[in-house]
Amino acid sequence: MTKKMKLAQLTDMLQDLNVEALEGVTIEGDIELDISGGGGLNPELAYAIGNEISHMSLHMANIGRILGFPAEQLLASAFGMGEMPEMDPALARPTELMSSKFDVSKIENWRNKIQEVTIGATAADGGSRKSTVTIGGENALPYYFDAEMPHKNHYTMDVFDMPIGMAKAVKGNYEDVINDPAEWAKKVVREFNADMVTVHLISTDPLIHDTSAREAANVVEDVLQAVDVPIVIGGSGNPEKDPEVLEKAAEVSEGERVLLASASLNLDYERIAKAAIDYGHVVLSWTQLEINAQKELNRKLMKQCGVPRDSIVMDPTTAALGYGLDYAYTNMERIRLAGLMGDDELTFPMSSGTTNAWGAREAWMVKSPLNQDSDWGPREYRGPIWEIITGLSLSLAGNDMFMMMHPTSVQVMKEITGTLYGSIEADEIDIQNWIGAEV
Amino acid sequence: MKINSPLEAYKYLPATNCGECGEQTCMAFAAHLIDRSLKLEDCKPILDEKFKKKYDELTGLLAPEIREVEIGVGDKIARVGGDDVLYRHKLTFFDQTAFAYDVWDTMEEADLVERVNKIQDFRKFYIGEFLQVDMIAVRSTSDDPAKFAAAVKKVAETTDLPLILCSFNPEVLKAGLEVTKDRNPLIYAANKDNWQQVADLVLKYDVPVTLFSPNDLDTLKSMAVTFAEMGTEKIILDPGTYPTGKQLKETFNNFIKIRRAGIDGDRDIAYPIMAVPLTAWMAHDDPVDASYWETVVTSVLTIRYGDIMILHSTEPYAMLPELHIRDTIYTDPRKPVAVDPAMYKVGDPTSDSPVLVTTNFALTYYTVESDLDSNKIDCFLWAIDTDGLGVEAAVAGGQLTGSMVKKAIEDSGFDMKKDTTHNTIVLPGLAARLQGDVEDETGANVLVGPADSGRIPGWMEKNWPPENK
Ligand code: SF4
């Protein structure tokens, strides 16, 4: 059947169409264009017809576009045009947002809680600390909405039992106390707001001063006298000497619930574990970037040595930003996820030796040793931020407590981890028009 | 991606085992598709017309959960998004976070050009390549279309880096687009007030668009659905980056929620996410405080799912850690940790050249090698098998000892007495405590080098050649 209609009618009809109306439209039959005038076309009429036809095809093309056909490409190629014809895209867009609700589920298989561990003991518990520090207890990755994080992150600052080489930016803060561990400890607590103090007994290393375990224990006693926060006791890292040094230190700090750093697979961890059990301390279980080694050591500490679950903290090793932090980060994240998902050999809070960040040349060198590099800028600002970003990334991987060195780093870390934890209030800032902000 | 075993991908391949893709079998190729180390287009036969249906279907199945959006053109094109996992150890993250640094249209022209050059020239050498930043974001602080167009034009003349055009005023955006329409810039941003006009622009110019809905994920998703319906999926989501306090905690969780929903299969929200750590400057007046805080926010949101960012501080103490944390997160965890333990030559060593010991931890090895190479020091560099640990860790953990060094010498076939005139080994400074041990075990002279290989040139001047040959 052939249906005859005027072009203008068709155009009008199409103009009335909108998206809603399209559903029921079918174009049936042929559309015959009956162009007749006798004796040739008069130019005015031809132009008028041309105009109608062109408009009509635009409308048609638009319908094609709404239906998902790339009509603009067809038109462009048909007329050899580089660009699509000026069409009002407003024709194709809704006038209101299509309302949609955002929804996301919580993670279901984070069912296992990380062990809570308390370091330090007050008089009520047989110690002499004024405060204690509790870490762990998480049911989710740090700061996630899935579950409230029960304890904030904690910061312990390093004190050494002898003067050591330090980056210039660090040293400036400690020159007045570098020969006196007790004063050094006081300074980090009073001036730099440390939650804990780590006393490193590095002079005990036979290759350094070979200080006796007894003498080293005196330093521990001095520090316990000087400050009333919980303390961490570190050896020299010498696997032969450390057990003896840490045993003696554990003995003189009986009841204070210190963190003994550390038990590892390459020394006699049984002696460290026994000292912790005998004198009521916590053991730092230290492995080197290897999740299976961490499981093994934790298992040995628990099963073989009988260390209670609430007395183990893990140190899976911290590598500096740019120097293996990717391994350290992922190792910790895997450990934490495995713990949350039910691996009871890994459900312990973690500690990071964030001070390692100062080993990165970017933290301490005056300038880049490579002449192809852009200027590295002033190192007094580079160092602390290197320590911050190293620690911060591990805080996101699940690390609970940080052993750190530079006061600015500790301050900024407390600010950002406290913010993510939710304990820091700040004036609300309106960012709606940030583009125009004067910065 | 919708499939996770090679078998599922294999079903769509030609199954001829022709080997054109460089793999022995179609099954081996399928495994590379699943771990995303090869692209479907590497199988030339499947591009044939007769496989078109299978090709299309498999392409759909292999598409990453999070859409990949391209910004810019040519060599410097930036791809953002494209992720398939929430944790890098599950596979790896793709398309490292694109860092854009801002300029604004009320800057003096000379300052503008200088800043753009500083941004595009910044480089840091790291394990064989340069870390660099990616984009320029031009902010309209004037709200004047003509001024904006002039600034955008100047930036486009100065750099090939991809551009982000920033204004909430559609007239201003249009003026910027007119001068950069061949550069595929990212439009920032459509919000709940201007989205219709911005939609008209991005559809007309066919460019990617950022949807901005600060701390309102329902509206953000509604906009994404609406834009997709209108015909574009070149979408980037900005849920707002609040710089401090509880607002920042919410921002952090918004990023996690959007990405989790996307990876879990909600296609309506599976787009790249933008962060704007620049807002740190709205909270801090002191420039060092602001730079520090911006770096901190950048790091948090690089780790938790930010795919593209607009930043302000061009201080090296901000840019260096930002570039490194991005590299940390985006480095493929499947790449080998260690180089083969062996005696390597750096430059053109002779029997008078020093023999330096390092570990076979890839990072340590390449750092030392590039320090030596860039300072033109010819030497033998000995990568000892420490199970891929760095020097300090290997000394502490007992993987680097005198007997290990001795064994490494024996295994390598290098003869200290015959192949050198000095019979001297240089230990890294961090292994200083092994000096005696190595001397006893090897019988060679042992010198202790600097703790950082960046100081080897200075050390060489003072200590090489050794006095007691
Ligand atoms: S090129 Fe394609 S068909 Fe040939 S072996 Fe590779 S996957 Fe199979």
* Mutate which of B11, B24, B26, B58 for ligand 1 pocket (most atoms within 8 A of beta carbon): B26
Q: What is the pLDDT of residue B398?
A: 87
The SS3 of residue B80 is strand
Asked whether residue A75 falls in the same domain as residue A173, the answer is: no
Q: What is the pLDDT of residue A47?
A: 60
B20 Cβ below 6 A of ligand 1: yes
Four-residue CA torsion sign, B424, B429, B430, B432: positive
Q: Phi and psi (nearest 5°) for A393? A: -65, -35
Contact list in B for residue A200 (CB cut-off 8 A) is none
Binding-face residues of A in 56-115 toward B, CB within 8 A:
65, 88-90, 92-95, 97-105
Q: Which residues of chain B have pLDDT under 70?
A: 468-469
Distance, CA of A105 to CA of B271 (rounded, Å):
18
Of all atoms in ligand 1, which is nearest to the CA of residue B20?
1
Contact assignment for B168 to A330 by CB distance below 8 Å: no
One-letter amino acid at A200 equals H
Q: Which domain holds residue A60?
A: 7-84
Torsion-angle region of residue B19: left (phi > 0), alpha (psi -120 to 50) or beta? left
> Is residue A281 a part of any domain in this protein?
yes
DSSP B338: B
Mutate to test the interface with A, among B320, B334, B460, B461 (most CBs of A within 10 A): B320
Asked whether residue A293 falls in the same domain as residue A149, the answer is: yes
Asked whether residue A144 falls in the same domain as residue A267, the answer is: yes
CATH fold of B68-330: TIM Barrel (3.20.20)
B26 Cβ below 6 A of ligand 1: yes
DSSP A375: P
Write out pLDDT tens, residues B135-147. 999 999 999 999 9
Asked whether residue A171 falls in the same domain as residue A45, the answer is: no
The answer to whether A272 touches A240, Cβ cutoff 8 Å, is no
Distance, CA of B103 to CA of A88 (rounded, Å):
32
The SS3 of residue A68 is coil
Inform me whether the C-beta atom of residue B457 falls under 8 Å from chain A C-beta atoms: yes
What is the pTM assigned to this prediction?
0.85
Asked whether residue A62 falls in the same domain as residue A173, the answer is: no
The answer to whether A152 touches A380, Cβ cutoff 8 Å, is no
ipTM: 0.88
Q: Phi and psi (nearest 5°) for B134? A: -115, -30
Four-residue CA torsion sign, B367, B373, B376, B377: positive
Asked whether residue A21 falls in the same domain as residue A123, the answer is: no
Distance, CA of B430 to CA of B67 (rounded, Å):
46
What is the DSSP secondary-structure string of A240-299? TTHHHHHHHHHHHTTTS-PEEEEEETTS-HHHHHHHHHHHT-EEEEE-SS-HHHHHHHHH
Asked whether residue A272 falls in the same domain as residue A170, the answer is: yes
User: What interhelical angle do A379-397 and B287-303 show, nearest 10?
Assistant: 30
Q: How far from B100 is each of A75, A326, A383, B163, B259, CA to CA, in Å? A: 37, 23, 24, 8, 21
Output the six-digit token pair for B377. Answer: 């020091």
Protein residue with its CA nearest to atom 4 in ligand 1: B18
Burial category of A123 from C-beta neighbours within 10 Å (exposed 0-12, middle 13-18, buried 19 and up): exposed
Q: Which of B288, B300, B374 sits opposite A396 (nearest CB)?
A: B300
Of all atoms in ligand 1, which is nearest to the CA of residue B26?
8
Residue B89 CA to ligand 1 center (angstroms) comes to: 29
Write out pLDDT tens, residues B444-467. 999 999 988 988 999 999 999 998
Asked whether residue A169 falls in the same domain as residue A73, the answer is: no
Give me the tens of pLDDT residue by residue for chain A, a chain 439 residues long: 344 445 455 445 555 544 343 343 344 444 444 444 444 455 565 565 556 666 666 666 666 666 666 666 665 555 555 444 455 655 667 899 999 999 999 999 999 999 999 999 999 999 999 999 999 999 999 999 999 999 999 999 999 999 999 999 999 999 999 999 999 999 999 999 999 999 999 999 998 999 999 999 999 999 999 999 999 999 999 999 999 999 999 999 999 999 999 999 989 999 999 999 999 999 999 998 899 999 999 999 999 999 999 999 999 999 999 999 999 999 999 999 999 999 999 999 999 999 999 999 999 999 998 888 999 999 999 999 999 999 999 999 999 999 999 999 999 999 999 999 999 999 999 999 999 998 8
Residue B29 CA to ligand 1 center (angstroms) comes to: 7
Which residues lie closer than 8 Å to B134 by C-beta, 6 or more apart? B76, B78, B98, B99, B100, B161, B162
Domain spans of chain B, in order of start? 6-62, 68-330, 342-463
Q: How far from B113 is each of A376, A438, B129, B160, B178, CA to CA, in Å? A: 21, 19, 26, 13, 20
Asked whether residue A324 falls in the same domain as residue A370, the answer is: yes
Binding-face residues of A in 411-430 toward B, CB within 8 A:
412, 416, 419-422, 424-429
Distance, CA of B334 to CA of B328 (rounded, Å):
13
CATH fold of B6-62: 3-methyladenine DNA Glycosylase II; Chain A, domain 3 (1.10.15)
Inform me whether the C-beta atom of residue B133 falls under 8 Å from chain A C-beta atoms: no
Contact assignment for B226 to A337 by CB distance below 8 Å: no
Q: How far from A240 is each of A3, A244, B7, B398, B401, CA to CA, in Å? A: 103, 8, 53, 12, 15
The SS3 of residue B70 is strand
Comparing CA positions, the residue from B208, B231, B213 lying closest to residue B223 is B213
Inform me whether the C-beta atom of residue B3 falls under 8 Å from chain A C-beta atoms: no
DSSP A200: E
Residue B84 CA to ligand 1 center (angstroms) comes to: 24
Q: What is the pLDDT of residue A75?
A: 59
Asked whether residue A125 falls in the same domain as residue A35, the answer is: no
Q: How far from B65 is each of A417, B94, B261, B421, B465, CA to CA, in Å? A: 30, 11, 10, 60, 59
Number of domains observed in the structure of chain A: 2
Asked whether residue A303 falls in the same domain as residue A220, the answer is: yes
Q: What is the pLDDT of residue B337?
A: 77
The SS3 of residue A30 is strand
Q: Which residues pair with B138 in a beta bridge?
A: B103, B165
Q: What is the pLDDT of residue B388?
A: 82
Contact assignment for B396 to A419 by CB distance below 8 Å: no
Inform me whether the C-beta atom of residue B203 falls under 8 Å from chain A C-beta atoms: yes
* Mutate which of B43, B46, B58, B62 for ligand 1 pocket (most atoms within 8 A of beta carbon): B43
Count Cβ atoms below 10 Å from residue A147 Cβ, excluding itself.
16
Domain boundary among A62, A84, A106: A84
Q: What is the pLDDT of residue B334?
A: 87
Which residues lie closer than 8 Å to A25 by C-beta, 6 or more apart? A17
The SS3 of residue B30 is helix
- HSE-CB at B174 with a 13 A cutoff on CA atoms is 11
> Is residue A292 a part of any domain in this protein?
yes
Residue of A nearest to B166 (CA): A435
* Shortest CA gap A161–chain B (Å): 19
Of all atoms in ligand 1, which is nearest to the CA of residue B46?
2
Inform me whether the C-beta atom of residue B77 falls under 8 Å from chain A C-beta atoms: no
Q: How far from B311 is each of B93, B138, B213, B386, CA to CA, in Å? A: 21, 11, 19, 40
Asked whether residue A175 falls in the same domain as residue A262, the answer is: yes
> Is residue A436 a part of any domain in this protein?
no
| CATH 3.40.50.2300 matches B342-463 | no
Residue B42 CA to ligand 1 center (angstroms) comes to: 8
